[in-house]
Structure 1
């Protein structure tokens, strides 16, 4: 196995096609962590991504691929080691005052509503906390009631004096979403927003996010390992593997005609999958401190193992001589795969 020990590479050659000058963008984004022994974990390693108002983008991939780190960098919670995050075309500044203004427009929705809510605070106080911190003007009670109603808790006044332990899991997640909506954001970043919920209420929360997109023009980045969820909710999907986006495009295209071998493996296990047979990936995702050279998926790639890459003459590039970058596949999608680029899939 060849190991890429070079410094982090320059930003990817091209942004994914179909991207727009959205409210929230990343360009050539890298996030690395220094570890004992002089090692560096390259959690995010050259990512371009856009999230525009009025669209839902799903960021999908296995655990450990860098999804949450990328989300945190987009929120300004992690400072990138290279590349830029922009909001409405302006680079994100990491001064306290600038970050405070930014976070009023780009809000986080956490995975675990129970952990996100203070058990000693009423629903009213939980939703009002953000507007108080940001010193939003106007009638606080009206703002809280409007946010709770938008989140589907009606009549809002019924919930004002309730405590988290008195609510169901779905209601607690709606309170967390209401806390974000109280600041009237342009974008929300939701990290596994239904992972901790019962199956019976997951659909309700997903329907809520779709309604907020359609009625309020809210944009959302939904971080998930569940492509079935992405299929239900996303306008666009970005599939991430070991710190890089390997396929990106409209949800219906990516999920009905996956091109990258990793995406095909993920889609193959979905119900009614367009991939004829389930693809079982061998091994685990490599350590982010020991990233393979060439295509970082090559150690697990079913196309390389089957000999398809060798027949196309790209197996050497896959194994170590060239890092694949996102290249236009159609007008609005991109794939980072040597074999796909060769036209021999």
Structure 2
């Protein structure tokens, strides 16, 4: 998928946070290519602390990159106040904790109408709020107008948050762990809602999650992130049924349906201010630890695998994998 075909495209995106007291900068996002097409759902997966949320916030314009570029609908993301405001009407964020996203003193109506008021909506506010609530599965919408967050179930609160994003008729939503705080019985309903919105509205989505099972249920493509970089990407069926990167294999091994023994990764991910030389995963790689890859061990420790392209082809940034598609 080229930049001209993508709704959103990141190229060599980098976000580094200054170190304290002369320490090296923390490279939270370290050269990422990522594409999201129109009407496509991409799952961004990885352990906590791998850079997923920082990447998502940089794609939203909430964190200004220290390098690289973001393009939306073919145009570069501009960081002036007016340009960002217009961009954020087209790209909306859905947070993981609906209780923290909603003001307890605001009614459902006011929560959903807030975006319209910020952007100076000149149409029929009541009709727009009602339509957004209905699209989010809260029907009849008028029954929810005067209710407060504490009067709703967790699933209903998440639907209100989604309605607040939908009311501005965005082209893309970024959903950060959208079902992590919900009961298992409700998660499927919210995932089904996101799929329905994709099918009915052509809505694109980047779903940030640590849960590969969720990615399997909702995504068209998956991008696996480790220590600031995408290490495997491709169609969800390809990546999750035939993972090529040892990190992806380890993440999948802990799922109950994997059928094998879980792979226990050694230690915690390295400090992003001190990323290891060579392949950034080699210090935890189960293949190297087992001695199965002795012939490439030196390369893993000294040569950084090429950055993956952001398009639809399957690729893995790993010296043990078959040759991968790399960035132009």
> Which bin holds the TM-score, normalised by the shorter protein?
over 0.9
Distance in structure 1 (CA, Å) of the matches to 2:305 and 2:4: 23
- Residue 271 (str. 1) matches residue 253 (str. 2): no
Residue number in structure 1 paired with 2:171:
186
Provide closer, same or farther for how the CA distance between residues 179 and 331 of structure 1 changes in structure 2, counting only shifts above 3 A.
closer
Matches within 5 A, 1:1-345: 21-38=5-22, 39-273=24-258, 276-310=260-294, 313-320=295-302, 322-326=303-307, 332-341=313-322
Superimposed CA distance per residue, residues 34-64 of structure 1 (whole angstroms, 9 cap, x where no aligned partner): 0212221000000000112211100000000
Runs of 4+ in 1 over 2 A off after TM superposition: 17-21
Distance in structure 1 (CA, Å) of the matches to 2:315 and 2:242: 12
Distance in structure 1 (CA, Å) of the matches to 2:8 and 2:292: 38
SS at structure 1 position matched to 2:321: helix
Distance in structure 2 (CA, Å) of the matches to 1:183 and 1:49: 25
Q: Is the 8 A contact 1:104 1:185 kept in 2?
A: yes
Superimposed CA distance per residue, residues 180-205 of structure 1 (whole angstroms, 9 cap, x where no aligned partner): 00000000000000111111111110
Q: Is the 8 A contact 1:18 1:331 kept in 2?
A: no
SS at structure 2 position matched to 1:174: helix
Q: CA deviation at 1:143?
A: 0.4
Distance in structure 2 (CA, Å) of the matches to 1:247 and 1:295: 13
Provide closer, same or farther for how the CA distance between residues 19 and 197 of structure 1 changes in structure 2, counting only shifts above 3 A.
farther
Instruction: Number of aligned residue pairs: give it.
Output: 322
Distance in structure 1 (CA, Å) of the matches to 2:90 and 2:285: 40
Distance in structure 2 (CA, Å) of the matches to 1:32 and 1:326: 17
Distance in structure 2 (CA, Å) of the matches to 1:224 and 1:214: 21
**Length-normalised TM-score, structure 2:** 0.95
Q: CA deviation at 1:20?
A: 6.8
Q: Is the 8 A contact 1:326 1:335 kept in 2?
A: no
Provide closer, same or farther for how the CA distance between residues 217 and 342 of structure 1 changes in structure 2, counting only shifts above 3 A.
closer
Provide closer, same or farther for how the CA distance between residues 133 and 342 of structure 1 changes in structure 2, counting only shifts above 3 A.
closer
Provide closer, same or farther for how the CA distance between residues 93 and 327 of structure 1 changes in structure 2, counting only shifts above 3 A.
closer
Q: Is the 8 A contact 1:326 1:334 kept in 2?
A: no
**Length-normalised TM-score, structure 1:** 0.90
Distance in structure 2 (CA, Å) of the matches to 1:96 and 1:157: 34
Q: CA deviation at 1:272?
A: 2.4
Distance in structure 1 (CA, Å) of the matches to 2:97 and 2:187: 13
Provide closer, same or farther for how the CA distance between residues 97 and 342 of structure 1 changes in structure 2, counting only shifts above 3 A.
closer
Q: CA deviation at 1:135?
A: 1.2
